[in-house]
Every structure is written in C-alpha cells, then in structure tokens.
Structure 1
Amino acid sequence: MSTEPRLAEVAEPEPAQKAAPGADQAVKETLEDYTLRFAPRSYRRWTPMVVATTALGGIAYMADFSIGAGIGLAHGTGNALLAIAVAAVVIFVTGFPLAYYGARYNIDLDLITRGSGFGYFGSVLTSVIFASFTFIFFALEGSIMAQGLKLGLGLPLWLGYLVSTLMVIPLVIYGMTALSKLQVWTTPIWLLLMVGPLVYLVATDPGTVDRFLAYAGTDGDGGVNTASVLLGAGVCLSLIAQIGEQIDYLRFMPPKTEANKRSWWTAVVMAGPGWVVLGALKQAIGVFLAVYIIAEVGPTAAPEPIQQFKHAFDAMMPSWLVLPLAVALVVISQIKINVTNAYSGSLAWTNSFTRVTRRYPGRMVFVLVNLGFALALMEADMFSFLNSILGFYSNCAIAWVVTVATDIGINKYVLKLSPHAPEFRRGMLYAVNPVGVVSFVAASALSIAMYFHALGDTLQPYSPVAAAVIAFVLTPLMAVVTKGRYYLRRTDDGIAEPLLDEDGNPSASTYECHVCRQRFERPDVAACRTHDAVVCSLCLSTDKVGDHVLPEAPAVV
C-alpha cells in the first residue's frame, strides 16, 4: 500500500504556492481551446458531424493539386495514380489508431506521442517535426495564393507572399471556436468551385480522359515501374503528418456512448484517416488538370493550381468570370488550410518550448514564429523545388507516425507492454522512452541516408518504404527488449478516482488546481507532491523547481 497522499476528492487546499512565472497568462490563454492540455467534456459542445466537418475543412488546401501534377508530369499518369494509391493506403492504416486515440481520449497528437513510446521530453523531437510540417505547407499554400493574386490582381509575388501570411493572423487568434465556424460555412462554396469544372470537362469532352490516361510523363516511357511509383509515393507520404492537424479538431469529439456510437465512429473515420480519400482524389485531379493544360502553359506552369483552374473555368463560362472565380477558389482554399497550419504549428512550438524551458510565452508568439519560417520559405521560392523538400521531409514524418501507430496497435493491444490508456502528465512519464525515440531516430536517419543516395542509386527510391518498415519492426522490438520499463515513471497519480468513467470515456469530475485556482477535469490533474491538493497539467509543466511533481515510483504496467 502506498504511503503517499491520495485524494478521494478535493478538500480545501492549503494556501497555494506561488504560481510559476507565466502560469497566469498560460491559464487565461489556454482555457479558450485548451492549448497544450486535455480537452474537457464541459468544453466539447459540438456534435460528431460538426467536428468532422470542421476537421475536413482544414484539408481544402491546393497543394494536393500541385503534388499530383508534379508526380504525373514527371512519371506519367499510370505511375502517378499507383503512387497516390500506395500512399493513401499507408496514410489511412497508420492514421486510424492515432485518430481513435485523439477522439477517444481528447488529446492532441503530441500528448498521444508522449505516452506512446517517446516520453515526456522525447516527444519534443516529433513536435518539431510536426511544426515543420505546418510551416512547410503554409509556405506551399501561401505560394499558390500569391500565384493567384499575381495572375488575378497583378500583385508581385513578394507582396502576395506577405498578404497570404498576414491575412490569417486575425483568424487564428480565436482558436477552435472561430475555426469551426469558418470551416463549416466555407466548405460548400469550396466544394462547388473545385468539383464543378472537373465534371464539366469530363462530360463535354470525354477525350480529355483518354489523353489523361495515356500521358507518359517527361521522365519515363509510359510504362509502370516500381522506382517511379515509390518516388511518387514518397512525395505523397509527406502528407502523413496531416493526421496531426485532423486530431487537433478530433480531440473535441463528444464522449462515445451507445446512443451516438454510429455517428461517433463515422465522424472519426471520415475526419481522421478518411481525410486521405479526398486528398488522393485531389492529387489525381491535379494530374488530370496538368495534362489538360500542359500544351498551352508548358510543364513549368502546369503544376500551378491557379493555372489549372483558370483554364478549366475558361472552358465552361464567360471570360470575365474566369479569373475572379479561379482567384476566389485559391484564396478560400488558402484561408481554410492556413488558419489550421498556423493554429496547429503554434500549438506544436508552444508545447515544445513550455516543456523544455518550463515557461509559457503565449501561443501568439509562436503563431508569429511559424509564420516567419513560412514567409522565409516562400521568399526563397520553395515552389520551384517542391518535390525535393517533400520527398526529404516525408522520411521523418513516416518514421514518426508509423512508430506511434505501431506502439498503439501492437505494443498496447497485442504485446500489452505499453499502457492502454494514454498518459501525458509530467511526473507520470519518464523523460525519454527508448522504445519510440530509438525507433524513430533509426528509421528516419537510415531512410534519409537512402534518400540522399548514401546507400546507392538503386535503393534511393525505397527510402519511404525503409522509414515505414524500420519503424514498424523496431517499435515492438524495443518494447520487448526494454520490457516496457520506460513507459510510466509511476502508475499512481495520487487521486483515488479512476481516470475513465464506466463507459471508458475520460471522467468529467472536476478538481481545483491549487496553483492557478481553476477547475479542471480528472484526466488533467495529479496530486501535488508538497500539498494535500491537486495540480493541473500545465502548472506541472511550468513548475521550474519540481515542487509539485510526484516522485518516481516503481512502474507496474
């Protein structure tokens, strides 16, 4: 029997210890959308379908059209379609367990990663990977919008980059509340503008389909070959980290009950791994439109979505409407995805900074940091070497996502060496868990070496396959070797009430944090080391001297 204090309920606490610097600011700001912490039941007021619609609104980006076009123009339609399909299957399979955990336990991907093989500080590595994903794709979308503003309004590209960056700041300040309204209201307009011209072209000129299917590409002979498929799939797999942005919305799913389980599962599958179905369709459309316009604009401009939709609209409507509609589509798409990129990126940077420094500088600081990185990439003309950036990045992203998905699917449910319920609180986790960290570092390092031809030209196209296979094999192997020893620093958080209710959902009971004096639900608090009271997860993160952090205890998994 543990001799440490346990709390059946929160009694009147002793006088509160002085909050860590930045704690008051952190509490005020994070209560808007529960940045860096568990999303409580009291805040999750949306229905499953509203959450799903909001999450799917975030994938309205135009980058898919460029990615698909780039692969198709280089390797031909047959190789491109196979590459898109291979990547989609991998993304769906790995995204499912992550989406389920985010929706079921109401935490973001960084918090999932902490307890799924990486440890409290170990997941800082993957937070940086995810933050990089958000500013790379922000830059890509901003570049596409700048191309549209140049064509439609005559703005120079440098000014278009600046406009596309600054315009999202007012929208991203307000978190989930504002984002849900924006995504729900703009999605029907976006879908109509995207699908309308494609349906018209296929219906009025069936020959476009034949030309599309017969296109051989600039680098091949028209035949299907493994190297081309894998090179294309590697570029598409750079989008595997998109599941992190989907989970930033899915964490606000309501509790799963008997009454809502059908709509709950539909929403999780559709807005979680299901995002890739629409993504793959957009990539295929990008190939189709690029082939359709290549004779008129050439291979350099064909991957630009503004050119693709300008020519598609031109075939179906008066010329005076063409440019306004094409620019409108690009601007709506850029706003829909880049508010999500800016929001999710700010969460990832803030999360890492707060853990490492134990100080919360405010999420808006990192909105600006993320936008600064994105603007620098745009000004460096990243669009011209897009496939190289994405091909390199995908190796790191694949290694991370496959490691976490394998830990959930194999280590938790098959080997039972990883704790079933996710843990993310400081004091409950070891600083670094070798299971995830070793698997991720080994998989990403070896696959990057392959990508840069270090192991020969023949193996270079197989770098994304290597990243996935190494992560999949090493994750359970490391769990067996370490016997699951480094998942939990302790199993008892000092509170008698279980974390989960009788339905397996996170408990809605509330406790008052004796540092910030705010009430939080059961999964977001732990007993204090020095007071007969509880402390919330964010105040634990900003505790510089460790007065509140429970001591290490023998782990029982």
Structure 2
Amino acid sequence: MVLEADQATKETLEDYTLRFAPRSYRRWSTGVVAVSALGGIAYLADFAIGANIGISYGTGNALWGIGVFALVIMLTGFPVAYYAARYNIDLDLITRGSGFGYYGSVITNVIFATFTFIFFALEGSIMAQGLELGLGIPLWLGYAISTLMVIPLVIYGMKALAKLQVWTTPLWLVLMVGPFAYLVISDPDSVGTFLAYSGNSGGGVNFGSIMLCAGVCLSLIAQIAEQIDYLRFMPPKTPENSGKWWRAVLLAGPGWVIFGAIKQIVGLFLAVYLIANIVDGAAVANEPVHQFLEIYRNMMPQWLAMTLAVILVVISQIKINVTNAYSGSLAWTNSFTRVTRRYPGRLVFVLVNLAIALILMEADMFSFLNTILGFYANLGMAWVVTVATDIAINKYLLKLSPKVPEFRRGMLYAVNPVGVVSVVVSGGVSIIVFFGGFGSWIEPYSPVVAVLLALVLTPLMAVLTKGKYYLRRTDDGIDLPMFDEHGNPSGAVLTCHVCRQEYERPDVARCATHDAIVCSLCLSTDKVGDHLLPAQ
C-alpha cells in the first residue's frame, strides 16, 4: 500500500487525479482558468447535433429544443460549478458528498466516463471526415490518427491543457465565426430559408418534436463535468477578486451552454444552406467539415478553402479531445482506485478511454448519432440533476445534506441511498420511456421523465432517510480550521505519515492507529482499513 501511495504522490503527471486541488498548485488567474475551460467546448459536435435535429424535425422545433436544453443546463450547472470553484474539487468528489457516498458515486463516474468516450469518438469521426476530404486519408486510418495524436498532450494535465486552449482559441474563433458572418451578409435570403425549413418530418412546431430535439441536445449535460475539471483550479475567492471570480465561474461553468447553443443553431443554418444551394447537399449537410468547406469556397480559392477547413477541424478536434481524454482518465482512475484500492496511474486509463473511443469510431457511430445521444441524455440528466438538486434543495433548503462537501474515505458512508436511488430510478425509467416501453405517446418525453424523477426523488429520499447516510463522521480528528477567513479551503500544510508527502488541510485526516496525519490518497489505497477513523 505504501508503495502504491508513494507512486501516486510522486508521479508529476497525475494532476491531482484523485483529490483536492491545493492552493499551492492553483497559480492561474480567473481569466486563464475560464478561457481554458471554454477552450474545451471548441468541438464541432454541436454543429452536427444542430444539423441532425433540424433535418429531422425542422428549424422551429430545433430552435425551441435548443432553448429547453440551454435552460436546463444553466439551472443544473450553476450549483455544481460553484461548488467546484469554491472548494476546488471535481464533480466526482462533489458527487460523493452530495447524495451518493464514497462507493456509490462510482456509478456516476462510469456515466461520465461513457460521456467522454462517446464524444471523443464523435469528434474523432468528424476529424477523420476532414482528413479524408482534404488529404485523401481513409476513414479507418483517420480514426486512428485522431486518437493517437492527443496522447502526448493529455498526459501532462492542466499545465499543458491551459497553454493549448489559450493559444489556439483566437484562431479557432476566426475560422468558425468568419464563414457564418460572410454567409449572412452576402446572402441575407438564406436567413428566411433557414427559418422556413420544415425538415424531414414536414410538420409544424409541436411539443413532442421539441422534446425529442431537446433530448438529443441534453446528451451534452455531462459537459459540465469537463468544465469543472478546469474550474477546480480557480484561485481563492477574496473581496479583491470577487467580481472576476464570479464572472469566470458563471461564464466557464453553466455559461458554456450559451456558446454550445449558438454553435448548434449555426450548424443547422449551414446545413439548411447546403440542402438549398448545393447539389447533393443533403447527403453531407450534417458533416461540419463539408458545412465550412462550402462556405469557404464562396470566399476564397479552392486550395485555400480546403486548407482552412482541414485546419479548423483539426484544431477543434484537438481542443476538445484532449479534454475528453483527460477527464475520462480521471473518471476511470477514480473508480478503479476506490473499488480495488490499487492505483495503476492515470496514463493507463487515458489509453483505455482512447481504445473504447476508437472502437466506436470504427463501428461508424456517426451514422446513428441521434439514437446514441438520445439514449445517453437520460443517464446524464439523471446524474447531474440529482447532484444539483441535492446541493440546491437538500443542502440549502431542507438542510439535510451538509453544506460543506466531503470526499474523504472514512468520513462518508460507503453508499448513500439518496443519490443512488434517484439516479437508478430516474435514469432507468427514462431509458425505458425512450425505447417505447410505456407506449409511443410518452416516448418523446423521456428527458422530462428523467428530470422530474430526479427532482422529486432526491429530496424525497433525503427526507425518508432523515439525511443520516451523508456523513459517517463529522470530526476528522484535526484541530486546525478547514477554511480561511474568506471561506476558502485552508492552505495550511500537514505531512502524511504514510507517503511522507505534504498536503493541505482539506486533503488529510487523523490516522486511526497512529498519532499522525494521513492523506486522502493513502486512505483510498488502504486495503485493510488501518487508517480509517471509526464511525461516530
């Protein structure tokens, strides 16, 4: 156990995989953290999603569906983004103390890891399409290239990712916004064509179609977990930086959906333009590389248009897939270490996540995109809505859940039925609804079912259990205060007697068998429970 803990603490590339992000590491400004977090949403999947739902159900239904999606993301994203930035922990650590327990949150880690490889595969597919179109590279080889090229970047964690996102964002913005602005200015009639487009369904705006559109878009609800993987590195909130701190949290947390919704609308706009103006445009209207290539062709010579289209696709894919690979590796590592109490290193799970994504790409997941995303949306909503409801209602309204998040083994119960029951029931029932198990009349409303069940079950379970399964202990045996005068996690440093490394106050507890301190990582890898304090 000591060797494994020593390995985990000394690996410089681990980027605080399993634990609290200490103040000594968080040297970035609020602006750098926000730009880095928003750089991760440079993906082109939004363009494909917007095009797909619009082609299926028409512009009116798609726009309303995107609006529903944005509203749900804003409401659920704010509580978890605030907790991540304020207490410097990722969504898995938040989930542990927000209704799931130490082992119970493994369920949600698997849900999140699934999100990362699904969207890695989606972005990799889009990049392979660009490489095939621009360079003649076969799709199967393009899939492999898009997978392997992120490995050198992602292993270096936040330091490398922050530089990558900040440096590439200006060029990405110019390449993405330029074609859309040119099209609207040079062909204003295209706006009217876009608004009148009725899609394959040929019908008008109706609630069922709106919810089907929203369901596909809401597959992105787990994106907040990737935003949080950056937000946990926010600097301490003080009276001097309070305004900047809040702006960064709101913009880079739930605010990501503003940019996501705009990209979905632009993707549909470009798809409708291709269908209306390009021969055989309908065949490629949902492929972002073709969307941008056709507009570039109107603006510049063919060779330059092709070059810029490929550059845009490659930059977008790298910006998001380093985040997908990074966040997915965190989720898998967290789950594996808790279940087995062994720590193999995060790089192992970078490779695992990429292998799964590559298999999905080779299986041509792009051709049945709506079904995959609609199915996943039910699981993602069940998880995020449950955590957000626990924070907003159980912590602040009912006061049955402790306000200060807890993530350390020994301080939490193994399983808390509040979150586990809510996710299993809301996710399971909504998936049955999605596949028509309760009849075709309710099938489009599976997102509503997932949200409503999670909203009701989370506080209901807290009331039924009287909140007694949140904390196994309230005292970690250390007399030093957990927070400073501004309410930020304390920067006081203590030494773990197992791995001999220094950790900040929120990341340690008193050892049960020694008159000493033990860190959360050594608690995680303690196979016999020698260090765990008894239940209070």
State the TM-score, normalized to the length of structure 1. Answer: 0.95
For residues 75-224 of structure 1, what are the structure 2 equivalents within 5 Å? Answer: 75-221=57-203, 223-224=204-205
Shift of 1:427: 0.0
Q: Is the 8 A contact 1:528 1:548 kept in 2?
A: yes
Q: Which runs of 4+ in 1 moved over 4 A?
A: none
Report SS of the residue matched to 2:518.
Answer: strand
Secondary structure in 1 matching 2:482: coil
Aligned to 2:505: 522
For 1:347, the equivalent position in structure 2 comes to: 330
Q: How does 1:150-549 map to 2 (within 5 A)?
A: 150-221=132-203, 223-295=204-276, 296=278, 297-549=280-532
Any idea what the Cα deviations from partners look like across 1:271-295, whole Å, max 9, x if unmatched? 0000000000000000000001124
Residue identity matched to 1:309: F
Q: Distance in 2 between matches of 1:461 and 1:28?
A: 50
Post-superposition shift, 1:298?
3.6
How far residue 318 of structure 1 moved from its aligned partner, in angstroms, is 1.7
| Shift of residue 439, structure 1, vs aligned partner | 0.6
Tell me which amino acid in the other structure corresponds to 2:463: V
Partners of 1:30 and 1:36 within 8 A in 2: no
- Please give the per-residue CA displacement for 1:235-287, whole angstroms capped at 9, x wherever unaligned: 00000000000000000000000000000000000000000000000000000
- Name the SS for the 1:220 alignment partner: coil
Whole-angstrom CA distance in 1 between matches of 2:210 and 2:317: 29
**Aligned-pair identity (%):** 73
What per-residue deviation string (whole Å, max 9, x for no partner) do you get for residues 2-35 of structure 1? xxxxxxxxxxxxxxxxx43421211122675211
Q: Does 1:24 align with 2:13?
A: no
- Deviation of 1:320 after TM superposition, in Å, equals 1.8
Of 14, 27, 39, the residue aligned with 1:45 is: 27
Per the TM alignment, residue 312 of structure 1 is displaced from its structure 2 partner at its CA by: 1.1
Q: Match for residue 57 of structure 1?
A: 39
SS in structure 2 opposite 1:492? coil
Check conservation: 1:21, 1:542, Cα contact below 8 A. Answer: no
Runs of 5+ consecutive residues of structure 1 not aligned to the other structure? 1-18
Quick one: distance in 1 between partners of 2:88 and 2:12? 15
Cα distance in 1 for partners of 2:213, 2:450 equals 15
Contact 1:88 1:280 in 2 (8 A): yes
1:346-390 per-position Cα deviation (integer Å, ceiling 9, x unaligned):
000000000000000010000000000000000000000001000
Name the count of aligned residue pairs.
534
Match of 1:122, SS? coil
The AA in structure 1 aligned to 2:45 is A
Residues 101 and 470 in structure 2, CA contact (< 8 A), matched pair in contact too: yes
Q: SS of the residue aligned with 1:22?
A: helix
Q: What residue is the counterpart of 1:4 in the other structure?
A: none
Residue 11 of structure 2: SS of its match in structure 1? helix
Q: Which amino acid aligns with 1:319?
A: Q
Could you tell me which amino acid in structure 1 is paired with residue 190 of structure 2? T
Aligned partner letter, 1:139: A
Partner of 1:520, secondary structure, is: strand
State the 1:299 CA deviation: 2.8
Question: Which of 493-502 and 324-333 deviates more?
Answer: 493-502
- For 2:362, give the aligned amino acid: E
Letter in 1 for 2:292: F
For the Cα contact (< 8 Å) 2:13–2:156, is it kept in 1? no
Question: 2:2–2:499: 8 Å Cα contact kept in structure 1?
Answer: no
| Contact 2:153–2:160 under 8 Å retained in 1 | yes
Please give the alpha-carbon distance, in whole angstroms, between the structure 1 residues aligned to 2:513 and 2:240.
43
Per-residue deviation, residues 315-372 of structure 1 (Å, max 9, x unmatched)? 1112221100000000000000000000000000000000000000010000000000
Measured in 1, the distance between the counterparts of 2:490 and 2:192 equals: 57
2:83 maps to a residue whose letter is Y
In 2: Cα distance, 1:76 partner to 1:29 partner:
51
Distance in 2 (CA, whole Å) between partners of 1:322 and 1:280 is 26
1:300: Cα distance to partner?
A: 3.2
**1:216 shift after superposition:** 0.6
Q: 1:186-222 CA distances to partner (integer Å, 9 max, x unpaired)?
A: 000000000001000101110111110110100132x
The CA distance in 1 between the partners of 2:60 and 2:173, in whole Å, is: 26
Which amino acid in the other structure matches residue 157 of structure 1?
L
Q: Secondary structure at the match of 1:61?
A: coil
Separation in structure 1 between the aligned mates of residue 412 and residue 282 of structure 2, nearest angstrom = 52
For the 8 Å contact 2:8–2:14, the answer to whether it is kept is no
8 Å contact from structure 2 (residues 387, 419) kept in 1: yes
Q: Secondary structure at the match of 1:511?
A: strand
CA distance in 2, matches of 1:399, 1:444: 5
CA RMSD of aligned residues (A): 0.8
CA distance in 1, matches of 2:470, 2:482: 17
Helix, strand or coil: the match of 1:193?
A: helix
User: Which position in structure 2 is the counterpart of 1:7?
Assistant: none
Offset from partner CA, 1:49-106 (integer Å, 9 cap, x none): 1000000000000000000000000100010010001001001110000000000000
Is the CA contact 1:20–1:544 (under 8 Å) kept in the aligned structure 2?
A: no
Q: Secondary structure at the match of 1:315?
A: helix
Give the Cα separation in 2 of the matches to 1:118 and 1:96: 19
The answer as to whether partners of 1:449 and 1:455 remain within 8 angstroms in 2 is: yes
CA distance in 2, matches of 1:21, 1:384: 47
Counterpart AA for 2:132: K
Cα contact 1:310–1:323 (8 A) shared by 2:
yes
**CA distance in structure 1 between the aligned counterparts of 2:289 and 2:14, rounded to whole angstroms:** 36
Q: Is the 8 A contact 2:274 2:282 kept in 1?
A: no
For residues 30 and 461 of structure 1, the distance between their equivalents in structure 2, rounded to whole angstroms, comes to 48
Cα distance between partner residues in 2 of 1:436 and 1:342: 26
- Secondary structure of 2:509's counterpart equals strand
